[in-house]
Amino acid sequence: MSIVLKNIRRTFGTFQALRGINLEIADHQLVALLGPSGSGKTTLLRIIGGLDFPDPGNGTVSIHSEDVTEKPAADRKAGFVFQHYALFNHLSVFENVAFGLEVRPRPTRPSKEAIRDRVLELLRLVQLDGLEQRLPSELSGGQRQRVALARALAIDPKVLLLDEPFGALDAKVRKDLRRWLRSFHQEIGVTTVFVTHDQQEALELADVVVVMNQGQIEQTGSPQEVYDRPATPFVYEFLGDVNKVRKPGRPDLFYVRPHEVRILFAGDSSAEFHAKIEHLFAAGPSARLSLRLTDSRDTLDADMTRAQLEEMGLSEGDEVGLQLALTSKT
């Protein structure tokens, strides 16, 4: 295991930011800590990196089988990248990346040539070769975050810790960087923990998604596991769209995702529910239907392909039959 966290608690005043976190992260994995704002993601990342510590006697952190619970960041060899570029604005790209190596004490400091080789290699890796003399102010947001990544990697970290690294960038750049980080991680293989509140980002990027809520882990699993088999109502609702449906005569609430709603003709004898199409939105290859159930008057969203929609010849105001893959959650 690369990182092992045992029963970590962290209290600020009387507020419990982390309430007993247990997590094991295998070597070379890309792990997303996913949760709403305030769920404790940053606190946990800082504790992994040694920028913060569990309450005394309440939890341990091991990295590569070494108990580092009481070690400061400088002794953990963790590389950090934060949302807001923490680059030195008066230093060039080259100098920023070289920084972590230049400040080493003499006995462990690489030679000037070795530093130069390493920095140029890292800049190639993050696809910024040729830009080494630029100042941070002469780069785009996405380029700056890649410099921050190269700088974090310069010290050959045992683990890479990223806190919403693309959070401040616009949607398109974010998406590109996400893809890039995925293949970049495959290439360098360093164990990486990535904080995000964006479920799409977590599902697309990570090998393992850790869903956090109110200082606790709700579920840990592959993107497919947490999406298809959510362990708790919180995970169900946090990861993607979900409808909550009551069945007539039953107190339980059922959960169903829009793509799990099957639309049938109103007269179809296999229909379990009947509904009216209140609104229809078709753009691109898929269509989203807002439905109102005839029995309970509950509303429900359903997705179908554009082709299916056209084949059935449906439009707003039509009655349809439904089959729902229901999961009871209460």
Report the interface residues with Mg ion, using CB under 5 A.
42
The CA–CA distances, whole Å, from 92 to 5, 139, 154, 171 equal: 37, 11, 15, 27
3-state SS string for 120-142: HHHHHHCCCCCCCCCCHHHCCHH
Q: Which is nearer to ligand ADP, 81 or 277 (CB)?
A: 81
Q: Which of the listed partners (ligand ADP, Mg ion, none) does 265 bind, with a CB threshold of 5 to 8 Å by partner kind?
A: none
Stretch that binds ligand ADP, among 12-20, 67-75, 217-225, 262-270 (CB under 6 A): 12-20
Q: For residue 196, how many other CB atoms are within 10 A of its CB?
A: 23
Q: Does 37 bind ligand ADP (CB under 6 A)?
A: yes
Stretch that binds ligand ADP, among 32-40, 87-95, 119-127, 222-230 (CB under 6 A): 32-40
Q: What angle do CA 84, 203, 62 make, to 5 degrees?
A: 70
Q: Minimum distance from CB of 10 to ligand ADP (Å)? A: 8
Based on the number of CB atoms within 10 Å of its own CB, is 326 exposed (0-12), middle (13-18) or buried (19 or more)? middle
Residues 259-318 that bind ligand ADP (CB under 6 A): none
User: Using CA atoms, how far apart are residues 242 and 249, in angstroms rounded to an integer?
Assistant: 22
Largest CA distance in the chain: 82
Q: Which of the listed partners (ligand ADP, Mg ion, none) does 220 bind, with a CB threshold of 5 to 8 Å by partner kind?
A: none
Q: Does 17 bind ligand ADP (CB under 6 A)?
A: yes
Q: Which of 2, 29, 42, 192 binds ligand ADP (CB under 6 A)?
A: 42
3-state secondary structure of 289: strand
Q: Does 40 bind ligand ADP (CB under 6 A)?
A: yes
Which ranges in the chain belong to alpha helices (H)?
A: 41-49, 93-102, 112-125, 141-154, 171-188, 199-205, 223-228, 233-238, 306-312
Q: Which of 30, 31, 41, 304 binds ligand ADP (CB under 6 A)?
A: 41
Helix axes 141-154, 171-188, angle to 10 degrees: 20
Q: Does 5 bind ligand ADP (CB under 6 A)?
A: no
Q: Does 35 bind ligand ADP (CB under 6 A)?
A: yes
- Phi, psi of 326, deg, nearest 5: -85, 140
Q: Which is nearer to Mg ion, 115 or 161 (CB)?
A: 161
Q: Minimum distance from CB of 197 to ligand ADP (Å)? A: 7
Q: Minimum distance from CB of 76 to Mg ion (Å)? A: 20
Q: Does 213 bind ligand ADP (CB under 6 A)?
A: no
Q: Which is nearer to ligand ADP, 123 or 212 (CB)?
A: 212
Q: Minimum distance from CB of 199 to ligand ADP (Å)? A: 14
User: Using CA atoms, how far apart are residues 146 and 148, in angstroms rounded to an integer?
Assistant: 5
User: Using CA atoms, how far apart are residues 21 and 188, in angstroms rounded to an integer?
Assistant: 28
Q: Which of the listed partners (Mg ion, ligand ADP, none) does 49 bind, with a CB threshold of 5 to 8 Å by partner kind?
A: none
- Kindly list the residues in this chain that would bind ligand ADP in the complex (CB under 6 A): 12, 15, 17, 35, 37-43
